[in-house]
A and B are shown apart, each in its own frame.
Chain A
Amino acid sequence: MKVFDQGGEAVAAPALLEEVPPEHRVPVAGVREAIARHRARRGGGTYTALRWLGASVFVAVLLALVVTLVSGSSEAFRHSGLSFLWSGTWDDNRKVYGAGIFVVGTLVTTFVALLLAVPIGVGSAAYLSEMAPCRLAQPLSVLIDLIAAVPSIVVGLWGLLVLVPLFEHHVEPWLSRLPLLGHLVFAGAPLGSSLLLASVVLAVMILPTVVALSRTALSGVPVADREAARALGATRWQVTSRAVVPSARSGIEAAVTLAMGRALGETIAVAMVVGNRVAMPHGLSTTLLAPGATLGSAIITTFGEATPGLQRSAVIAVVVYLLAISVAVNAAGQILLRRRQRQRSARVAA
């Protein structure tokens, strides 16, 4: 007999009372009343009210956030229509607003940052979790966990004052001299501030997150799995690549998704190094050395000067756009994670 459900609610006692046929009921004075009083005391009261208050404040804040931003952006969306989402012109004078360039900048910097950070990050996590001697792995893991907390403004300052000169005088000239790549991806004058540097700064920012979360996922794989693989004659690398990484895959994917969300939504560090070119002179260019803008950096550079009305509404529309992309990415990650967990529990049950 189950007396309490998980929430601690007494579920069985009154139900039992109902199950007893009337002719067999022993007349016990006041039992029903006592139970009713008891339930009233448990169900009502300040404690329940308090809990409901906490939950409703949170939901109210969430709704207010969405409603405020969406209503603030409605004027711009009415003005520009859906072409706001992909049109590449942002011109205050002609009152033409399109976030296309910012979206491309965001997608390109995020993609390049993930390209740089994910292999290095997952490789580091594999080394720290599977290969490194414990004396080395433990302090390094703690160090990287702590570095994950470094504020983005500090990374941005370092990018602006250290990496911009370094890229301008050394890295970008060298890259533009590369055969083939120099003409396609790294063409143009080395200016320092560029989409490439923004990607590098983002990669540095998300690296600790990728390493820390992937390492946690890898360490969570049961030792028995590793031992079983070793017993079948697998080498250390085969254990890692065929037993450990596949079963930690959902955790690694979650780490990458989280890092991606961070890279998409980063504003201040990117704004300091990306060059903030709101208007593209010749449409979209294919070079990573060109200065550009992302959704986040565009908000920072344009909101301060935006006059109330259409101009400000257009910036808020960029915020809504960024919000929608981030939420979509995060939701996709969550769904992916849940599905994998379900699959695994189904497999375990079978």
Chain B
Amino acid sequence: MTTLRTTDTGDVVVEELLPAEVLPEHLASGAAARRAAIRQAAGRTLGRRRTATRASHVLCALSVGICLVPLVALLAYTTARGIHAINLGFFVHDPTPPGIPGGGIRNAIAGSVLIVGLGALMAIPIGIVAALFLLERRGRVATIVRFGADVLTGVPSIAMGIFAYALLVEPLGHFSALAGCFALAVLMLPIVIRASESAMASVPVDLREAALALGARRSRVARSVVLRGAMAGLVTGSLLAIARAVGETAPLLFTTSSDLFNLSPLQPTGSLPLTIYANGTQAFPEAQQIAWGTAFTLLVLVLLLSIAARIVAGRLARGSR
């Protein structure tokens, strides 16, 4: 008697529960024929199944390889070119006029910190408060806010730049850090809202109800239960929003561009992405060198922010358990 069994590796094995020898002769011959037929059929599908598994394995592994080649090449090339361009003076000097060697990106670093910092100060509190609104209200307004956040996440960042241009550059008559950070704030707002809302929703409703049952006001519940419980998610979401905003070029292109060192929000200000764009599109090797150095700086900054976000999320998730 024979049975079919599938092994761990997906192979079909024909197993014999009784040795053919113990069967009576008239049965044994039939059994042998049946066994041969089963073996043949199983062998056919086995071959197909085995080939499909192997082929899929090879193809998928290959696609990982194809996927990693450009990504790793991009990182490696930027790092190799960028490290050459970087020394201490690179971070503490302002850019020099074309042709004079030894310029730095102090203005761009200060400008990026100013623009992104102010933008985050606008976007994060409003975003968290709007997420609290979503948490405690079901209704038409909440639907509008939620839908708006979904829509705004998909809006191309250049639209925020043109919006800030029409709203703040045209009336003021010149570019300013304020216009840039407003554009970035609009960009960050939906990211913060969505991340905060999902973080707050993960705080158990029981905890909130328990606090209310103890007589706590809703503001108190929000502060001590919701915000505290969702802290990991809030910090992670904010860090990711900042990491996204630091690297954005399109919203700043028509709002902030300047080569000068400046810390006043109402004046035009340089930034890391714009420095890369302005220098990278020039044909001079010195300018391209500066672009690579700035690109490497920006890359490290963004990766550090993303890693920090991961670490915070991981640590606080462990802590709350």
Contact = CB atoms under 8 A, between A and B. Distances in A.
Interface in A54-88: 54-55, 57-59, 61-62, 64-65, 68-69, 72
11 contacts: A4-B212, A45-B217, A47-B219, A62-B148, A68-B167, A124-B63, A153-B276, A158-B78, A162-B77, A204-B71, A237-B57
Closest 10 CB pairs of A and B: A151-B247, A265-B156, A54-B129, A330-B154, A235-B10, A123-B63, A47-B219, A127-B60, A54-B130, A51-B133
Interface of A: 3-4, 6-8, 10, 41-42, 45-48, 50-55, 57-59, 61-62, 64-65, 68-69, 72, 119-121, 123-124, 126-128, 131-132, 140, 144-147, 149-158, 160-162, 204, 207-208, 211, 233-238, 240-241, 261, 264-268, 272, 296, 299-300, 303-304, 315-316, 319, 322-323, 326-327, 329-331, 334
Given A154-B299, A160-B281, A127 B64 contact: yes
B145 interface: yes
Interface of B: 6, 10, 12, 49-50, 52-53, 56-57, 59-64, 66-68, 70-71, 74-75, 77-78, 125-130, 132-138, 141-142, 144-145, 148-160, 162-163, 166-167, 186, 189, 193, 205, 208-209, 212-213, 217-219, 221-222, 240, 243-244, 246-250, 253-254, 273, 276-277, 280-281, 288, 291-292, 295, 298-299, 302-303, 305-307
Given A157-B276, A300-B158, 20 more contacts: A54-B127, A55-B133, A55-B141, A57-B126, A59-B148, A68-B166, A123-B62, A123-B63, A132-B64, A146-B303, A149-B247, A152-B249, A153-B277, A156-B280, A160-B281, A235-B10, A265-B154, A304-B254, A327-B155, A330-B153
Given A235-B10, A240-B56, A300-B250, A150 B61 contact: no
A162 B151 CA distance: 35
Nearest to B216: A8
A157 B151 contact: no
B52 to A, nearest CB: 5
Dominant secondary structure of chain B at its interface with chain A: helix
Contacts of A64: 163, 167
B54 to A, nearest CB: 8
A264 B156 contact: yes
B215 to A, nearest CB: 10
A130 B294 CA distance: 39
A299 B162 contact: yes
Contact of B63 (A119, A240, A331): A119
A322 B302 contact: no
Contacts of A149: 240, 243-244, 247, 302-303, 305-306
Given A6-B205, A55-B130, A149-B302, A267 B166 contact: no
Contacts of A128: 64
A58 B189 contact: yes
A55 B141 CA distance: 8
Contacts of B281: 160, 272
Contacts of A299: 158, 162
Contact of A150 (B74, B129, B166, B217): B74
A235 B134 CA distance: 46
A124 B149 CA distance: 30
A251 to B, nearest CB: 15
B247 A303 contact: no
Given A241-B56, A265-B155, A326-B156, A151 B246 contact: yes
A52 B126 CA distance: 11
A296 B156 contact: yes
A47 B74 CA distance: 48
